Structure 1
Amino acid sequence: MFSFDTEKSSQSSEMIFPMYSEISFANILKKLEVPHESSQEVSILQNPDLEPIGPERRTWGLWSYAGYWGVLNLSVWTFSVGSSLLSLGLNIQQSMGALTVGNILIVLYTCLNSYPGETYHIGYTVCQRMVFGVYGSALGILIRIILSIVYYGSQAWLGGLCFVVIFSTFSESYLNMENTFPESVAMTTRDFIGFLVFQVISIPFFFIKPEKMNIFVNISCIMALFGLVSVFVYLYCINGGPGPIYYEKVELSASETGWMWLYAMSVWYGALSPDITNQSDFSRFSSSRKKLVIGVFVGIFFTEIIPLAGLISASCSLELYGESYWLPTDICLQWLQDNYSPRMRCACFFLGLSFLSSELSLNLLSNGFAGGMDLAGVCPRYINIVRGSIITALLSWCVQPWTFYNTSSTFSTVMSSFGVIVTPIIGIIVSDFTLVRRNRLRINDLYTTSKDGDFYFTKGVNWRAILCSLQLWFQVFQGWPLLQTLTSS
């Protein structure tokens, strides 16, 4: 018979495998928790990124908000938004009129939705607990996460096109690179390389605190303003006028024109609606309510020249090149194809760099950091803004953003549908905070699952708010097919 000394065996195994004796599943989970100080609490509802921010981080003033909202207009996408509006049958003047009315609504909704974050210095994720309950908040958070992923991919694709312009100024062979993708893939090898580089170069920026990005955003606004206006001025001058599209007459009845205005407003509002929805994520950095409101107004209205510049540039390019170029990157590539001289290469390099700066700052703040903040609300113990932003960037590949820019009709449908989804959430947040709660909140109750908390409602869910949202979505989606039918007829 063999005797087996369990004590000696245990000791010998610990000597051979000392590491395994110390590691447990609980220790692994502990190491995966978000970085935090010993005095900071991490739970299923709380981590340092979700807590109300202190006075030392409330540094955004008028120009910070002017830059944040200005960069939304000073971007490649905004320059090209006219393609969606003119496809509805409107002319340039009517398209700009619809944009102006849409901007009035955007400023109003943005300022109203800023107050929870500006007053209590909490983000959109925590505001959802106020409306839908500590558990029901997952509904609003998941919707915003999906929009962040979609928008991140969309803007990353445009950022990749900026890299295409920059790389093309270095190498004519890159400019004329042979496409190795099949025709069924709605992109070229050259464009894919630019998209990949933009995705990679964005990652290090996620390790910067969001409130520290304001200076970079303001610099990007200045660069993009000069770049986009330069493209417009150059095309206007060499063409000798605004081009044929500017003088086109509208062949719509008064009723049809009214519907087109409404649809054009929904396209523009829908494109910016995700940023309106999570405005509390950035209004919590505000140093003054007055500066916030003025900054939003300046950022939105004083950059309205860019959509107009894009419309007239497309009109000029139609007369000059026989094709309407809606993206400023396409215009630069056309110039390089026509004249690959050192002077033209230098001009296009700096233009591409200016476009890239705005796309990078826009995508980081409005989509990357926003998605990171929302994902932090889903799993606060293990996801913070940095980790959530990286996850958003990785998931953006799944939406295949290159397909968004195949046709203007597809693009406008996608953009306008976003407003339909998030507007009920905006309305409920504003109504609940201002009318029901009279701007008063018990902040501690937003971070507890106690049944005695103000936001526990019925087992953590405010079913009245959820049913209200479902009813609004049902009513809107009932009318949406009718509006699309009217606009397509």
Structure 2
Amino acid sequence: MFSPATKKKIAYWGAKLECPVDDDANYENTYWCNRDLIPIPEDRRTWTWQGFAGYWIITGANNSAWTAGSTLLALGLSVGQSMGVIVGASLMISMIAIVAGWMGSHDYLGFTVMSRAIMTACIWMGIQTYWGGQAVKIILGAVIGPKYAFMKNTLPASANVDTGSLVSFFIFLVIFCPMLLIPPEKLQMPLRIAFVMIVCNIFGMLIWSVRTAHGAGSLLHSPAVATGSTLSWNVVYGIQAILGLWSGGIVGQSDWTRYAKTPNASLFGQGVTAPLTIIITALCGLIITSATFEIYGEYFWNPFELLLHIQSVSMSPASRAGTFFSGLAFLSSQLALCIVLNGISTGMDMAALCPRWINIRRGCFILTVIAVAVCPWNYVNNASTFITVLSGWSVFLSGMTGILIGDYFFVRGAQLHRGDMYRSSKDSAYYYTAGINWRAVVAWITGIWPLLPGFVRRVQGVNAANGWDHVYDLSYFFGFLVSMAVHVALHKIFPASKQTGASPFEMELHRGPRYLDGERPQVYVESITSHEDETVVLGKEKEASI
């Protein structure tokens, strides 16, 4: 099909484009393994409790938490009831995060490799990059002035985005992409700087709004709009919607806890910082929303809309300075959030698709392209749409979280044959049936299909409070518990071989030259020791077929 010269060029570029390998590495790039997928070695476990505390401040103290707290009011809840929902949901997030991250901090494996016993997924980057673009729009509006802040819109109404926001979105991507060059084990200092800016910004806006409005505003004392069973179900829906907001971060906790310097380094951040930060951020968001109504006569559920409105009302030096520094803090928040909660975790998921040529960094770049393609501005233009988007993640990710936790703790007893996760031979503990664990697939489908009718009805704006709608109101709890129970039960009824016991990750490599004077590329001899006294040879030196 190809001429010898073409085959040689394909082989050459295939080798050139392979992911980098550390000097004196104990691994080799294969279709299952690269630097970012191996169990993290001790010299790369650099994250202390302060780093994880900062991680959860960034994850909790951002515009998503702020917006989620405010938009609960759209469900007809009072401020007190909304805060009750936030407290309950944040405590659940904390507990699930601890359990989901345990495998990372104790076995040093990320979600992507752990889910080779299950399935992989990658999730929502677009919305956060869009909000990052809004921060850029605020900053440049403050610096350049009305010419940029009120740029003429040349896009049709059907685009759901204006020209200034779209330009700012792409500027944010230009700023964001170089940040991906920083390896995860060296991110602690940039994240510390970001969370200091975030905290100062939130409390600065709180003080300004309350002082300017001469109080917290009347919204804090307004009663709930919904009543009876409608109110009760809206409370339940609100809890699982907030869980949905953090569902991606929860299921991928081990992507970060595997960098923990000690096995328990992440517990303070997950158990204390996470719920505390989410609660405080949501409360501040509600108070600012209430106070700014007294100032401007309009509720701003999104902090970016508030800052843009301030610029539209006044371009005085004080307004420009205030919106500039606030926008700068939100920019740092979105940069950190895109890296921590989206980029690195999903980059690992991408790396699992083709480890020889895709690592975390390259996966992040691929994800960034996808973030543009999803047109995220279509999902954040109003409160009701936003809360539906938040809840929607629960449909697909809650089941994955339940399966991951049930598989690790109840099926395997927190024991893993780590070497088997990096080879595809039939005697691997995780080969299952033709390389697929059908039990996990069945469990996931069982957990999500009853949620789909209610999800579709919610997206379409049709909600008659029937049985499907109420099942969807319980989507995170339903998907999590049902998928976990079915997965564990199927493993008990149809047990797979070698699911108990543990063995280390060891790769024995015999490196040779990649090319021999123009000859076809060579395949290295690789073997993985995955059982106590058994070495399985994965390949032997031979000519590679193109």
The answer to whether TM tops 0.5 is: yes
Match of 1:355 among 330, 350, 356: 330
Q: How many Å separate the matches in 2 of 1:467 and 1:119?
A: 28
Q: How many Å separate the matches in 2 of 1:69 and 1:197?
A: 26
Q: 1:211 to 1:29 in 2, by over 3 A?
A: same
- Provide the TM-score with structure 2 as the length reference: 0.80
Aligned to 1:486: 465
CA RMSD of aligned residues (A): 2.1
Alpha-carbon offset, residue 157 of structure 1: 0.7
Partner amino acid, structure 2, of 1:33: E
Q: How many Å separate the matches in 1 of 2:133 and 2:101?
A: 32
Which of the pair is proportionally richer in helix?
A: 1
Task: Give the percent of matched residue pairs that are identical in Structure 1 and Structure 2.
Answer: 32
Match of 1:73 among 60, 66, 84: 60
Is the 8 Å Cα contact of residues 57 and 211 (structure 1) preserved in structure 2? yes
Match of 1:179 among 147, 153, 161: 153
Match of 2:244 among 248, 270, 290: 270
Whose RCO is larger (CA < 8 A, sep 6+)?
Answer: 1
- Provide the TM-score with structure 1 as the length reference: 0.89
Partner of 1:81, secondary structure, is helix
Aligned to 2:434: 459
Partner of 1:29, secondary structure, is helix
Aligned to 1:170: 143
Is the 8 Å Cα contact of residues 223 and 357 (structure 1) preserved in structure 2? yes
Is the 8 Å Cα contact of residues 229 and 306 (structure 1) preserved in structure 2? no
- Is residue 2:345 matched to residue 1:336? no
- Is residue 2:72 matched to residue 1:104? no
Unaligned runs of at least 5 residues, structure 1 = 1-18, 133-139
Aligned to 1:10: none
Alpha-carbon offset, residue 102 of structure 1: 0.5
Is the 8 Å Cα contact of residues 301 and 383 (structure 2) preserved in structure 1? no
Unaligned runs of at least 5 residues, structure 2 = 471-546
Q: How many Å separate the matches in 2 of 1:324 and 1:30?
A: 56
Is the 8 Å Cα contact of residues 77 and 158 (structure 1) preserved in structure 2? no
Alpha-carbon offset, residue 478 of structure 1: 5.5
Aligned to 2:40: 53
Alpha-carbon offset, residue 269 of structure 1: 0.5
1:347-404 CA deviation, whole Å, 9 max, x = no partner?
2211111111111101112111122111000111111111110010011111111111
Match of 1:252 among 196, 202, 226: 226
Aligned to 2:339: 364
Q: 1:486 to 1:72 in 2, by over 3 A?
A: farther
Aligned to 2:131: 158
Q: More displaced, 38-47 or 358-367? A: 38-47
Is the 8 Å Cα contact of residues 210 and 369 (structure 1) preserved in structure 2? yes
Q: How many Å separate the matches in 2 of 1:72 and 1:375?
A: 22
Aligned to 1:136: none
Q: 1:212 to 1:485 in 2, by over 3 A?
A: farther
Is the 8 Å Cα contact of residues 86 and 92 (structure 1) preserved in structure 2? yes
Q: 1:274 to 1:343 in 2, by over 3 A?
A: same
1:413-440 CA deviation, whole Å, 9 max, x = no partner?
1110101211111111111111221111
Q: How many Å separate the matches in 2 of 1:486 and 1:314?
A: 29
Aligned length: 457
Alpha-carbon offset, residue 477 of structure 1: 3.4
Q: More displaced, 32-41 or 468-477? A: 32-41
Aligned to 1:228: 202
Q: How many Å separate the matches in 2 of 1:445 and 1:396?
A: 33
- Is residue 2:9 matched to residue 1:24? yes
Partner of 1:467, secondary structure, is helix
Partner of 1:324, secondary structure, is coil
Partner amino acid, structure 1, of 2:273: G
Aligned to 1:16: none
Q: How many Å separate the matches in 2 of 1:375 and 1:297?
A: 29
